[in-house]
Amino acid sequence: MKMAQIDKGWMTIKNRLSIREYQEGVNSFIEFAMRNVGLEDKLQCPCIDCLNDKKHTIHVVRIHLIRRGISLFYKTWMHHGELVPVVEPLIRNEVDDEGDDLPATFESVDGRNFDKLFEDAQRKLYPKCTRFTVLSFIIKMLHIKVYNKSSNKSFDMVMKVFKDTLPECDETVPWTIYAVKRFSRDLGLGYVPIHACRYDCALFWKEHANLDNCPKCEEPRYKLDNGKGKKILHKILRYFPLTPRLKRLYMSKKTATDMRWHKEKRVDDGILRHPADAEAWKDFDWQHPMFPMDPRNVRLGLATDGFNPFENMSTSYNMWAVILMPYNLPPWKCMKEPFSMMSLLIPGRSAPGRDIDVYLRPLIEELKELWGDGVRTYDAKNEESFRMHDALMWTINDFPTYGNMSGWTTKGYLACPTCNEGASSQRLTSKIGYMGARRYLLENHRWRRSKLFNGQSEVRCKPLELSGEQILEQIKTGTYKPFGKHPNNRKRQRDENPVLS
């Protein structure tokens, strides 16, 4: 049965609040969704912010559509019961056996949106402009705003002067800070702000999102809250979602080809030129045989370190960036800046230390979801969809940060993570030395019998190498102080003048 033609002319109306036709169109859309999807309590919201990624109640969806507007790219209401106009054979992925493959026309929606945004970013600011595209102009103006700490009002005033000055300027140029934010969000340049406790105890996220006090130390969420709407936070974690950027790698035919390089073009001649040549990569493939069956599954490396954001090393402030690198790419690309993805920007006057686990939670949960369930992704090279999974293979950091990331202390008599509990450490005057390097030699090596080193022969074998499961079990059985730097969590100071009884 052929579905009746649906009137969607209301979607392009700009004055959404005062035009009755738009509001009636919103009501007709909700009635259509309820009639085709079913009597559910929540619907996927197609507003320009949610983009069908979130579900809300019908009342909230109606408010979003009136206040924010519906996405103009959502021309076929597929998520709300409308049939795809073009019927093509289903494209199946050999690894994906869930039976939920969708028509290629549906899966190419993300690709078409990306191409549209890319074309918009290539447009000149005005026809004869040779210096700026719309995108480069907006980025330059945002850089000036941030560098000089300009207010939103001053930014709008400057942009208005440019608009009145530049001849024949493109009508789609965003001339206000609100429009600029929408423009950058459509390009995937946004982030998710997550409030954090001032002492790094917890994040006000998910189950704690509506709390006004830290669930661990009871400290207030805001350093200023006058009860009249003015609120100033102690700390904000900037989280840059990973999934959209990984999907974007497959929206370009060139990068989609490069993401298969490790499998299709790499020369396996026993020489280490790429992480795929390493034993760890091959051992991972042996332990998880389903993962390498699709070379498009992403393998990641994670690096983190602190930096001073104010270009003045004497300033006592330290922020930490967490960056991910896709190792599917060839070696001349995988470590380059254009393919490095900043995932977290951790605030603080000092390094997070072991409390970095608190800030890593959003990233870890996203990585676990990508590892287990995966995400539907459009491959521009093969013009098909597949379910993309990921695996975090390695971390890159200095030795102190290694201790924070792994949970193993890097100080004291058990500082060596390889030796673990079998560390051969001893005190040397005012320092701790590790004198058991000869344990790693072959059992019949002549240096083991020599007493020239420390007056003793070495008869011990090298420490046992623990598996990942054994290390995790070891961490679980340990006892740790609570997360956070609240003064109550610090060790009790020794009384220099104890009272003798």
pLDDT single digits (tens) 107-130: 444 545 555 566 656 677 777 777
- Residue pLDDT, tens place only, 207-238: 998 888 999 898 898 887 766 767 888 899 99
Q: Which pLDDT score is estimated for 113?
A: 54
Q: Which pLDDT score is estimated for 37?
A: 67
Q: Which pLDDT score is estimated for 100?
A: 38
- Residue pLDDT, tens place only, 151-197: 889 989 988 888 888 777 766 788 888 888 877 766 666 788 999 99
Distance CA 240, CA 448 (A): 52
Q: Which pLDDT score is estimated for 104?
A: 39
Collapsing DSSP to helix, strand or coil, 112 comes out as: helix
Q: Which pLDDT score is estimated for 121?
A: 63
| Phi, psi at 213, each rounded to 5° | -135, 150
Residue range 296-304: average pLDDT?
A: 94
Q: Which pLDDT score is estimated for 89?
A: 32
Which residues lie across from 320 on neighbouring strands?
A: 306, 346
The residue count of the chain comes to 501
Residue range 195-212: average pLDDT?
A: 90
Percent of the chain, pLDDT > 90? 22
Mean pLDDT for all residues in the chain = 80
Fill in the DSSP letter of residue 500. P
Residue range 254-264: average pLDDT?
A: 92
Q: Which pLDDT score is estimated for 108?
A: 42
- Residue pLDDT, tens place only, 340-357: 999 999 988 888 888 899
418 or 500: which carries more pLDDT confidence? 418
Distance CA 352, CA 320 (A): 8
The number of CA neighbours under 13 Å toward the Cβ of 410 is 13
Q: Are 220 and 213 in contact (CB under 8 A)?
A: yes
Residue range 395-423: average pLDDT?
A: 85
Distance CA 94, CA 103 (A): 16
DSSP assignment of 375-427 equals EEEEETTTTEEEEE-EEEEEEE--HHHHHHHHS---SSTT--TTTGGG--EEE
Which residues lie across from 231 on neighbouring strands?
A: 225
Distance CA 92, CA 262 (A): 23
Fill in the DSSP letter of residue 10. G
Q: Which pLDDT score is estimated for 311?
A: 65
Residue range 423-447: average pLDDT?
A: 86
List b or e across 202-212, with b for residues whose CB sees 16 or more CB atoms inside 10 angstroms: bbbbeebeeee
**Among candidates 109, 106, 111, which has minimal Cα distance to 88?**
106
* Sole residue written with tokens 């521009």: 380
Percent of the chain, pLDDT > 70? 83
455 or 389: which carries more pLDDT confidence? 389
Q: Which pLDDT score is estimated for 435?
A: 81
Q: Which pLDDT score is estimated for 97?
A: 38
Task: Determine which of 58-67, 305-314, 418-427 has the lowest per-residue pLDDT on average.
Answer: 305-314
Distances (CA, A) of 17 to 14, 47, 284, 452: 9, 15, 56, 88
Q: Which pLDDT score is estimated for 285?
A: 92
Task: Determine which of 3-12, 150-159, 253-262 has the lowest per-residue pLDDT on average.
Answer: 3-12
Distances (CA, A) of 307 to 63, 319, 323, 369, 403: 42, 5, 13, 30, 18
The number of CA neighbours under 13 Å toward the Cβ of 161 is 6
496 pLDDT exceeds 60? Answer: no
How do beta strands 231-233 and 222-225 pair?
Answer: antiparallel
